[in-house]
Chain A
């Protein structure tokens, strides 16, 4: 799995600060993208989601929190680092609660910025890997035949072969065959592994 180079998305309505931040991060060797507003970012959502977002908290138009909220609704892996020119506690608590990766007060030192960005990138990587895994699992699950999927769903819910055969109006042998085929397709050796995949894909909740 080749990892694309991460991009730091800088969203700030203050042109001067935006430029300086881009300059610094570029000098530090990061790839950057700049947006003058939250809506500009939403309109140009990056296809590749390696990286993180540096978001100014106080902006006219789509503000920091609003953007965070909207990103949260989508399948976002980009951690958000809030930047604020006045670090007030109320705002920072709200930001962290709603899942902000970090909270930085302007002016921010280079060291703090690097640490924060690095942490965010690691988290981004983790999130992406986790998401990739889930995607792979979902792909495997979708590769099952309908009958196999049906049997799989019942197996991970703890149904015995006999019960499944009875429910489906078929023989235990047939159930066993579907079950094995599914386990093979998913690449799991034990029932526990299969249950884990089903759980991660959210198949057990409904």
Chain B
């Protein structure tokens, strides 16, 4: 495992005047590598990794990172890897490198490196130039360098892994991917190398002239670069070249530069290498830093391990890797995948929501479906319940009607008697009148009297029928304000003959108040009638003092109590509660429905009904109903 031992700037050990000349800082990283256990005791191979720009300057830092990793992976020996950076690459060519060479000479005077690897052309050139006094005959491995910026020294112990940057291919890729592109802004810094590349681009893209225009950032400050990148005209693209310093000499070597462009840019960004692939590059054919680093490490291993002579190893030139694209950027810039070069690889494909959260989605969806089903089921139940309630209400109304019919038929003989009295009288009167008319002279006065009596009897019969008809024919409950006094009087009319037949006196409180309660008139009459007949029946076996009384009283502002009192045998205490249940009867021939229906009706109108025994014998049935609001 690599251990970062030191990262101390060596500058303190160097004279200040030199330091200024040397321009810039250099940093040294010493890394010790503990290799395999079998070679743990062998002396470590010392490798100098010499940078042209800063240690943190992409893409170069990417090369060193990968090379280091590859070396540690491949080398059987322990490695003492020293990194140093020239820094002067982004400065004018006039800088004198010799103090830095002195420093390196001093650093490695006792233990010269086994291999020098240079990253980027400037370091290679520096080594070549200082070869006479520095690193004489020490194998040199040049990497991350374009053939245009490097020529192999014929008599030197060196080899190279070069990168072929085909600028035309790179630009062509932009046009392939986004065919509408008519402008490409090329990000290049103000260093000599970066200016060199500007010219190279101009040369390379000549075949594209007329189709696309180019602009370069070499002469802009960093702020201006960002501003320009953010205000590019439509159908523009950015090409990220090399940027180590801006026109004002501000070093731009840290890793955050690309992301600043990425944030600012209003156009897609392309590049020639993959150091920022995944950070916002659209992609295309690019140098694979990983690939180049691996090849570099391979070559280094051959020299260090196998003892091959560097000069005997031919120069390797590595071109673009097969094209790769960032799926997210393709989406962002609405690139059709059909536009991509055949054989392109699209990566960073975002997993669809489904594949990422499959089980969550299934779970949530199931929960929602389950809930929906439950809701539907509950709604269905609700509807069913409502229908059932309606049906049960209808049935109750039917039952109530049937109960009325039964009630009336139970007292029908009394009613028939009541009705036949006036009918009989009318028939008699008619007969008498006929006979009177046949006399001469007829007794007109008496006939007139007869006719008057006939009318009276007829009205009387009509009244009886009227009472019954209202009671029997009512089908639907029509709640209204019912005058309870009138309802009681109506019921008294109906049961009067039956009471008379049984020798029972009917009493209604003289002070019956005209309270109004909310309900259906017929239903309330039915309650009263059921209670009254119940009372009459209760007095069946009573010898004397048979009385049935109706009373009303106001409980409070909102409720009215109505009582039906009899002087009968009373109710066994054990039956007081259950007497209102269906099919509970104390009578020989009762249906057991009368009181049950009475209770149902009372409760339907928000009231309550109960029975009790009176102190002086007999039973009292009482019910309480909400008083109608309109009651005065």
Task: Please list the residues of chain A having a beta carbon within 8 angstroms of any beta carbon in chain B.
Answer: 14, 16-17, 19-21, 23-24, 26-28, 58, 60, 83-86, 88, 105-110, 113
Question: A19-B453, A27-B436 are contacts. A85–B416 as well, Cβ < 8 Å?
Answer: yes
Bound: A116/B126 CA distance, A: 159
| 11 additional contacts (CB under 8 A) given A23-B446, A26-B432, A85-B419 | A14-B421, A16-B456, A21-B428, A23-B428, A27-B436, A58-B500, A84-B417, A85-B421, A106-B420, A107-B423, A107-B425
- Contact present for A58 and B501 (CB under 8 Å): yes
Against A, the Cβ 8 Å flags (1 = close, 0 = not) of B415-457 are: 0111111111111110110011000000000100010010011
Question: A58-B501, A60-B503, A107-B423 are contacts. A17–B428 as well, Cβ < 8 Å?
Answer: yes
Bound: A85/B428 CA distance, A: 14
Bound: A26/B431 CA distance, A: 11
Listed A/B pairs (8) with beta-carbon separation below 8 Å? A16-B425, A20-B424, A58-B501, A85-B417, A85-B418, A85-B419, A86-B417, A106-B423
CB distance from A87 to the nearest CB of B (A): 9
Taking a contact as CB atoms closer than 8 A, the residue among B416, B422, B431, B432 that contacts A86 in the complex is: B416
Bound: A194/B424 CA distance, A: 51
- Nearest to A17 among chain B residues (CB) is B425
- Per the 8 Å Cβ criterion, residues 384-425 of B in contact with A are 413-414, 416-425
Please, which residues of chain B bring their CB within 8 A of the CB of A14? Answer: 421, 425
Please, which residues of chain A bring their CB within 8 A of the CB of B417? Answer: 58, 84-86
Question: A17-B425, A106-B423 are contacts. A24–B503 as well, Cβ < 8 Å?
Answer: no
Against A, the Cβ 8 Å flags (1 = close, 0 = not) of B493-516 are: 000000011010000000000000
Bound: A23/B424 CA distance, A: 13
- Contact present for B432 and A23 (CB under 8 Å): yes
Please, which residues of chain A bring their CB within 8 A of the CB of B425? Answer: 14, 16-17, 19-21, 107
Question: A86-B413, A86-B416 are contacts. A27–B424 as well, Cβ < 8 Å?
Answer: no
- Nearest to A88 among chain B residues (CB) is B413
CB distance from B259 to the nearest CB of A (A): 111
Question: A85-B416, A88-B413 are contacts. A106–B453 as well, Cβ < 8 Å?
Answer: no
Bound: A19/B421 CA distance, A: 12
CB distance from B384 to the nearest CB of A (A): 49
Bound: A85/B498 CA distance, A: 13
Taking a contact as CB atoms closer than 8 A, the residue among B413, B414, B420, B426 that contacts A20 in the complex is: B426
CB distance from B269 to the nearest CB of A (A): 112
Please, which residues of chain A bring their CB within 8 A of the CB of B421? Answer: 14, 16-17, 85, 106
User: Which DSSP category, helix, strand, loop or mixed, fits chain A's interface?
Assistant: mixed
Please, which residues of chain A bring their CB within 8 A of the CB of B503? Answer: 60
- Contact present for B435 and A24 (CB under 8 Å): yes
CB distance from B498 to the nearest CB of A (A): 11
CB distance from A28 to the nearest CB of B (A): 6
Please, which residues of chain B bring their CB within 8 A of the CB of A20? Answer: 424-429, 432, 450, 453, 457
- Contact present for B413 and A17 (CB under 8 Å): no
- Contact present for B432 and A108 (CB under 8 Å): no
CB distance from B343 to the nearest CB of A (A): 113
Please, which residues of chain B bring their CB within 8 A of the CB of A88? Answer: 413
- Nearest to B422 among chain A residues (CB) is A16
- Contact present for B432 and A109 (CB under 8 Å): no
Task: Please list the residues of chain B having a beta carbon within 8 angstroms of any beta carbon in chain A.
Answer: 413-414, 416-429, 431-432, 435-436, 446, 450, 453, 456-457, 460, 500-501, 503
Bound: A24/B416 CA distance, A: 23
Closest 10 A-B residue pairs measured CB to CB?
Answer: A106-B424, A20-B428, A85-B420, A85-B417, A27-B435, A107-B424, A110-B431, A107-B427, A23-B432, A20-B425
Bound: A14/B429 CA distance, A: 14
Please, which residues of chain B bring their CB within 8 A of the CB of A83? Answer: 424
Bound: A14/B418 CA distance, A: 10
Bound: A14/B500 CA distance, A: 12
CB distance from B442 to the nearest CB of A (A): 11
| Most A C-beta atoms less than 10 A away, residue of B432, B436, B446 | B432
CB distance from A30 to the nearest CB of B (A): 11
Bound: A31/B224 CA distance, A: 143
CB distance from A85 to the nearest CB of B (A): 4
Please, which residues of chain A bring their CB within 8 A of the CB of B420? Answer: 85-86, 105-107
- Contact present for B431 and A27 (CB under 8 Å): yes
Bound: A54/B500 CA distance, A: 20
Please, which residues of chain B bring their CB within 8 A of the CB of A16? Answer: 421-422, 425, 453, 456-457, 460
Please, which residues of chain B bring their CB within 8 A of the CB of A109? Answer: 427, 431
Bound: A113/B428 CA distance, A: 10
Taking a contact as CB atoms closer than 8 A, the residue among B426, B436, B500 that contacts A107 in the complex is: B426
| Most A C-beta atoms less than 10 A away, residue of B422, B423, B426 | B422
Question: A19-B453, A23-B432, A24-B429 are contacts. A108–B424 as well, Cβ < 8 Å?
Answer: yes
Please, which residues of chain A bring their CB within 8 A of the CB of B429? Answer: 20, 23-24
Bound: A23/B454 CA distance, A: 12
Please, which residues of chain B bring their CB within 8 A of the CB of A28? Answer: 435
Please, which residues of chain A bring their CB within 8 A of the CB of B460? Answer: 16
Bound: A16/B431 CA distance, A: 15
Please, which residues of chain B bring their CB within 8 A of the CB of A86? Answer: 413-414, 416-417, 420
| Most B C-beta atoms less than 10 A away, residue of A19, A86, A105, A109 | A86
Bound: A128/B362 CA distance, A: 112
Bound: A204/B201 CA distance, A: 169
- Contact present for B424 and A24 (CB under 8 Å): no
Bound: A60/B423 CA distance, A: 20
Please, which residues of chain A bring their CB within 8 A of the CB of B456? Answer: 16
Bound: A164/B501 CA distance, A: 62
Bound: A103/B416 CA distance, A: 17
CB distance from A14 to the nearest CB of B (A): 5
Bound: A27/B447 CA distance, A: 11
- Nearest to A16 among chain B residues (CB) is B425
Please, which residues of chain A bring their CB within 8 A of the CB of B436? Answer: 27
CB distance from A71 to the nearest CB of B (A): 21
Taking a contact as CB atoms closer than 8 A, the residue among A58, A84, A107 that contacts B428 in the complex is: A107
CB distance from A89 to the nearest CB of B (A): 11
CB distance from A60 to the nearest CB of B (A): 6
Bound: A28/B501 CA distance, A: 32
- Nearest to B500 among chain A residues (CB) is A60
Bound: A60/B428 CA distance, A: 23
Question: A60-B503, A107-B427 are contacts. A23–B450 as well, Cβ < 8 Å?
Answer: yes
Taking a contact as CB atoms closer than 8 A, the residue among A24, A106, A107 that contacts B432 in the complex is: A24
Bound: A99/B626 CA distance, A: 57
- Nearest to A108 among chain B residues (CB) is B424
- Nearest to A28 among chain B residues (CB) is B435
- Contact present for B457 and A24 (CB under 8 Å): no
| Most A C-beta atoms less than 10 A away, residue of B414, B421, B453 | B421
CB distance from A184 to the nearest CB of B (A): 53
- Nearest to A19 among chain B residues (CB) is B453
| Most B C-beta atoms less than 10 A away, residue of A17, A20, A24, A113 | A20
Bound: A24/B453 CA distance, A: 13
Bound: A130/B417 CA distance, A: 37
Bound: A23/B451 CA distance, A: 12
Bound: A15/B436 CA distance, A: 21
Bound: A23/B443 CA distance, A: 12
CB distance from A166 to the nearest CB of B (A): 61
Please, which residues of chain A bring their CB within 8 A of the CB of B446? Answer: 23
CB distance from B426 to the nearest CB of A (A): 7
- Nearest to B414 among chain A residues (CB) is A86
